[in-house]
Each structure stands twice: as structure tokens, then as C-alpha cells.
Structure 1
Amino acid sequence: MTAVAESITHELLSRATTVAVRPRYEGNNICTWIGFKHVNYLVEEAVLDHFRQSGLSSRRLFEEFGLGLDIVSIDTRILNAFHLDEVGFATVVPKIADGSDRLDFTVTITKEGGTTKDVTSKVTVALRKDTYIEPTDAYPSELERFVVAKIGGAEPGERVDVAANTALSEGRGTSAGDDPVLKQLTAGRNAFGWKWRIPYPYCHNNERLQMSGYLRQMEEVVDLFLADRGISIKTLLDDRRWIPVVPHSKIKFLDEALMEEDLYTIYTVEEIFKDFTYRSRMDTYVVRDGRLVQTSTGTITHGYAVIENRRDWKLVPFDQRVLEAFGRVNPS
């Protein structure tokens, strides 16, 4: 264990690492700009590579030590848009205080040839003891303070009635206003609710929804919310060449969400800033033993940009149609 211990104390907890990252083609949805989800994927890859360079790759942690590497909090600011094929250099700096049981890191990404930061992020990692396959305590003692038996530990909330309306035949779940849980969670709030069965491609370590799954969830609930309010992505794209842009997003785990559980995602418009950006909150819940358990919370800030040509865009203020769509409140 000596070599591993030295790697942990020096490489993982003390030394900064840098890796070249390039966004995936999948993230190129409008012209050649890369969406916020895939920028967060670059942050995730940089953190995973930091562990890899220290000699504690996510594969080794799981296979040898029975520890799942979970990003449990991510807070990312996009200062300049990423384009398809651009390369960034991501630097990960450990921010672990003496005696702390939190694996905290900062990540900055600067484009190749650039001199200013294009992305900044704060990330927290948990090492979750695997219990799906025979659990083990055969991991280095130096990791002990970072190991958790479970992520989070949210207290169960109100009792709720559950409707059986996420059958496989209904595909992507439901946003029906008569769903009792969605109705309870959105009543009197400027919110949109979506109930959905967690699929295995969004999970890892055999059972848990992972951070990239929550990022996909955040992207999709925004898409559904805008369509519900009559200003879908394609509607504004076709009508006026407007596209949503995201300068800031963050997600934090509060508990674990498990494969094939029904996930209740509530998207609430919180604040509009000077008619140029608006901030919304995403909260997710599961129902266990008839009680709500909140599994995550996060926020995302959006603006709109008008496409000037295949290369350039500029921010535009919200008009009345968009402001009215953001401002609707569901009746109690």
C-alpha cells in the first residue's frame, strides 16, 4: 500500500494536473457551438484524469478497492463559448483542507492559444463504498476519510399518493397535471414538473444515477419546459434565430437516485435579470415508502442569443412573448 499512499497524499491531494480536452461532436447542436452539458463533461473528464494521473483511476478504485468515484457537486461558469473542434487545457487544483473529508477541486479551462480562462468550475467528489457486489474494506487507510457508505442522506419528506403512469408504453414519462406528486410539487409555483423512469444509460456502478445523467436531465427538463410554455427551442430558432445560452449551471447531490426508480423533476423559474438572463432551479425527488426524498438540487442561468451567421451570435433582450412565457404560475 505504500506506493498508493504516497500517490494519494502527494499526487491526488496536493499536485495540480493539466490535460488537453476536446468537446464531443454530440454537443454540437446549433451551428458549431457546444452546449453547457458538454462543457461540464470536459470538467468531468479533467477531474477523472486527475485521479488517473495520481494512479487512482476510477477503474482501479472500483475494481481493486470497491470504491465508486462520484462527482456529487459541480458548479460551472462558461465565460466564453466553446466551438466544435476547439481544444482546451484543463487544470485541476486540489482544494482539500487539512483534516477535511471532502475531495474538493477547482477546474479551469483555457482554449489552446488563449490567455484568459474560458471555463471555471468547482467540483466535489465522493468515494462511495460499493455494496452491490460483495463489499470490502480493502482500500488504503489514507482514503478512509473520503469514503462514504451512502451519498447524501436526505430526510424523507411529506407522504404522497403515487400514480402508476410511467409504464414503458408511455416512453419518456409524463408531465400530466393530474399526476398527484407533480401536482403537489408544482402547486402555486412558477414551475414545470416531469415524472420519468431512470434508465440504465444514465447510471453507473450498477445502480446509481450519476452526475452526467443529472446534466442530461437538466438539459431535457429545460427543453420540455420551454415547449410547455409555447416557446420551444425550434419555435424560437425558426421564428427569429434565437438560441438559449448558458453562462452558469450547478448541481448538488442530496441523496442517491437508483436505476428504474421514478424521478420527479421540478423546474422552477426563480428570477429574471434585467430582461437578459433568467435563473431557474431544478429539484429532483423519488418516492420511497410513500414519502418524498429529494435527491438533488441545482440551478441554471439562461439567456438568448441571435444567430448572426454560421460563426457568430450576440445576446438579445427578452421580448414580451418570452417574458410572459417565463412568468406563468401554476394554479394551486
Structure 2
Amino acid sequence: MTTATEATVATALKSLLNEQTTVEVRPRYEGSNICTWIGFKHVNYLVEEAVLHHFRTAGLPARGLYEEHGLGLDFVDLDTRILHAFHMDDAAQALVVPDTAEDASVLGFRVTLCVERDGSSLKAVTSKVKVSLRPDGYLDRTAETPQELAPFTVARLGAHTETRPGAVPDTGPAVGTTVNTSLSYGRGTTGEEDPVLAQLTRDANAFGWKWRIPYPYCHFTERLQMSGYLRQMEEVVDLFLADRGISIRELLDERRWIPVVPQSRIRILDEALMEEDLYTVYTVESIFKDFTYTSRMDCYVVRDGKLVKTATGKITHGYAVIENRRDWSLVNFDERVVRALGGEPAER
């Protein structure tokens, strides 16, 4: 016999999978770091908010999924293109369109953000989003998952990427570690003095960073969430540019140049837990016509003496020159920037 709760969940899931939703979203003040422009991280936050509203409207809010069914709502894939810049106080109209294949093991959505410019509505952002439902593994391991939600429920984040039943996460070779991320280290450790970082960055145009995962980057009591990885991607870029001699502050002061991001993507492959050491490797993959460069971010933890990759992502950057308090325009890289991105000593 179908219970009232099961019937309610079935109706809500049908709405989630078939009906479009719209909502007005605004970027947070925190995301305006240079003049009034909003960075890529907070643009992705708007995408997340639109999808969360979609779940709420369908009758499956993140809070209810967790408190009533013991299911954490986790963003596991976020692929976003930014077509027009967002500014402080912009109001975006977000459209969420369900995009879940019939036999999919993950919930999919397409999100479009439109913003008004000079009386016209411009398509500013497009994003592809995937969501998994993860049973609570910390407080209650006995909650029963509603039958309708079972196809989208995973015992471990990243399981949707596996192609064989019962697959276990791929692990890397055995590694040696050093304990060097105590609180006194602040932002963590970089460089070849750490054996894991040395192994991960060897013979590559890459920068490595080891850092203890703090609780504000986590959710559902134990694991690093997608927004935490977005923050990680933003910060590893900052550290990479400083390490290459072209820090954000330096190019701002010298040239009024700022990094701009037309595209970013992050995929969660496994779980990273609160207070684990996260090894983040940022690798420059290509430079396109001295105009944009694309880098890959790979994140790992060490478990049982072996590397486990927990996330991977890509981000494309260009540079823009600040023309005034309202406007900027894209510029080509000069030799100094090209050399630094390519791994050669930066020349001032």
C-alpha cells in the first residue's frame, strides 16, 4: 500500500522532473571584490540558489529532504558559462529547466540567468547542474529513503560517475605524508617540501596547495560541499598567480588588470571530510592566442596511505583593464604574463 508520504513524494518528484520554475536572484554583497563587478564564485552561487528554489517549489526543499528523510541535497556537477558580467545590486531572472534522462542516476537541470541592460533582457549565464541525494551518515543511518527518490540516492558522493555496479573509488599510488597543516600554518602549505605535493606536481606546469578543510566549507555535518570547492578554486588561483610573480594585487596596482572568468566547471568524484587535509593541484593546460588560458583543478585526500581524487574542475581566465568605476575591457596577455602562465620566470 502506498503511504501518504510516498504519494506526496511521488507528486513532488513529478513536479521536480517536469515543471520549469523562475525566480529573481541577486548576488551577495560579499561577491563584489573589485569595483562593483561580481566574481564567478558568486555567479555560481546564484545558480545554486535557483536550483534550491526549484526543489522548494516542487515540494522537496533541502531542509525537508534532510529532516524528514535523512537525505542531503548535494550539488555534484556545476558547469557554468558567463556571457555578461554581473554587478552589485543586479536582479537576475533565473529559469530552471529539468534535464534528467529517463535512466539517469543523478538529477539534472539547465539554468539560465538573464539580467536587464539598457531596457533589454540579456542572457548573462547558462549552467548545467547535477544533484545527488546522499543519506545521512553521521546522525542517523536507519532512515528509509522514499522509493521514488531511490534512483537518485547514492551511498557516497561521486558514485554517479561510476559505470560498473559496486564500483569503488579509484585510488592512486601509495604516498608519504607530512603533518604540516596545524593551525599555525594558516593558509596551509605549498611547494615541494611536502612529499604529496611534490609527487602531484612533478614534471607539470602546476601549482600545489595542501590545506585543512574547515567546517564553514562543509555541510550535513561532515563533508565538503560544492560551494566549498568553488571557494577552493578561487583561492588556488590567487595563490598560483602570486607564486608566478603576477599576483592579483600587483597587476591591479601596476596596470589596473583584473582576472575575468568566462567559464568554470567542478565535478565531485568522491567525498572529502571536515578537517581532512585537501591537496589541490592547479595545472595550466592551454593558452589561447594570448587572450585566455584554461587550467585544471584536481583535489585529493590521502586515505590509508593512498591518494583519492575527490573533485576535478576547469576554469578559463582572461584579463580585463579597468577603464572607470563602471566599465572594463578585455586585453591581450603580454610577454611577462605569458611567461608566468607557461611556467617560466616572470620578468618585470
Q: TM-score range by the shorter chain?
A: over 0.9
- Choose which of 32, 35, 39 in structure 2 pairs with 1:35: 39
Cα offset, 1:329, TM superposition: 6.6
Q: Residue 172 in 1 paired to residue 176 in 2?
A: no
Q: Distance in 2 between matches of 1:167 and 1:50?
A: 41
Q: Distance in 2 between matches of 1:148 and 1:3?
A: 21
Q: Distance in 1 between matches of 2:58 and 2:141?
A: 24
- Choose which of 4, 14, 25 in structure 1 pairs with 2:9: 4
* TM-superposition CA deviations, 1:236-276 (whole Å, max 9, x none): 00000000000000000110000000000000000000100
Q: Which residue in 2 is equivalent to 1:135?
A: 141
Cα offset, 1:141, TM superposition: 1.2
Does the 8 A contact of 1:27 with 1:34 survive in 2? yes
Does the 8 A contact of 1:191 with 1:329 survive in 2? no
What TM-score do the two structures reach when normalised by structure 2? 0.93
Cα offset, 1:300, TM superposition: 0.3
Cα offset, 1:99, TM superposition: 2.8
Q: Which residue in 2 is equivalent to 1:184?
A: 199
Q: Which residue in 2 is equivalent to 1:213?
A: 228
* Correspondences of 1:203-242 after superposition (within 5 Å): 203-242=218-257
Q: Which residue in 2 is equivalent to 1:24?
A: 28
* Correspondences of 1:220-299 after superposition (within 5 Å): 220-299=235-314
Cα offset, 1:5, TM superposition: 1.4
Q: Which residue in 2 is equivalent to 1:103?
A: 107
- What amino acid maps onto 1:266 in structure 2? V
Q: Distance in 1 between matches of 2:120 and 2:304?
A: 53
- Choose which of 268, 293, 304 in structure 1 pairs with 2:319: 304
Q: Which residue in 2 is equivalent to 1:126?
A: 132
Does the 8 A contact of 1:65 with 1:136 survive in 2? no
Q: Distance in 2 between matches of 1:174 and 1:89?
A: 41
Q: What secondary structure is seen at the aligned counterpart in 2 of 1:117? A: strand
Cα offset, 1:3, TM superposition: 2.3
What number of residue pairs does the alignment pair up?
A: 329
- Choose which of 154, 170, 173 in structure 2 pairs with 1:148: 154
Q: 114-123 or 202-211: which moved more?
A: 114-123
Q: Distance in 2 between matches of 1:114 and 1:270?
A: 37
- Choose which of 319, 325, 330 in structure 1 pairs with 2:340: 325
Q: Classify 1:329/1:155 alpha carbon distance in 2 versus 1 (closer, same or farther; 3 Å).
A: farther
Q: Distance in 1 between matches of 2:17 and 2:143?
A: 21
- What amino acid maps onto 2:123 in structure 1? K
Q: Classify 1:212/1:282 alpha carbon distance in 2 versus 1 (closer, same or farther; 3 Å).
A: same
Q: Distance in 1 between matches of 2:234 and 2:137?
A: 30
Q: Which residue in 2 is equivalent to 1:313?
A: 328
Q: Distance in 2 between matches of 1:23 and 1:302?
A: 21
Cα offset, 1:4, TM superposition: 2.4
Q: 98-107 or 296-305: which moved more?
A: 98-107
Cα offset, 1:172, TM superposition: 1.2
Alignment RMSD, CA only? 1.2
Q: Which residue in 1 is equivalent to 2:98?
A: 94
* TM-superposition CA deviations, 1:3-53 (whole Å, max 9, x none): 2211111x1110010110000000000000000000000000001110010
Q: 94-103 or 226-235: which moved more?
A: 94-103
Q: Distance in 1 between matches of 2:8 and 2:239?
A: 50
Q: Which residue in 1 is equivalent to 2:213?
A: 198
Q: 302-311 or 152-161: which moved more?
A: 152-161
- What amino acid maps onto 1:42 in structure 2? L
Does the 8 A contact of 1:188 with 1:329 survive in 2? no
Q: Distance in 2 between matches of 1:279 and 1:123?
A: 21
Q: Which residue in 1 is equivalent to 2:68?
A: 64
Cα offset, 1:115, TM superposition: 3.0
Q: Distance in 2 between matches of 1:94 and 1:54?
A: 11
The answer for unaligned runs of 5 or more in structure 1 is none
Q: Classify 1:327/1:123 alpha carbon distance in 2 versus 1 (closer, same or farther; 3 Å).
A: same
The answer for unaligned runs of 5 or more in structure 2 is 159-167
- What amino acid maps onto 1:13 in structure 2? L
Q: Distance in 1 between matches of 2:218 and 2:344?
A: 33
Does the 8 A contact of 1:280 with 1:300 survive in 2? yes
Q: Classify 1:294/1:80 alpha carbon distance in 2 versus 1 (closer, same or farther; 3 Å).
A: same
Q: Distance in 1 between matches of 2:225 and 2:269?
A: 12
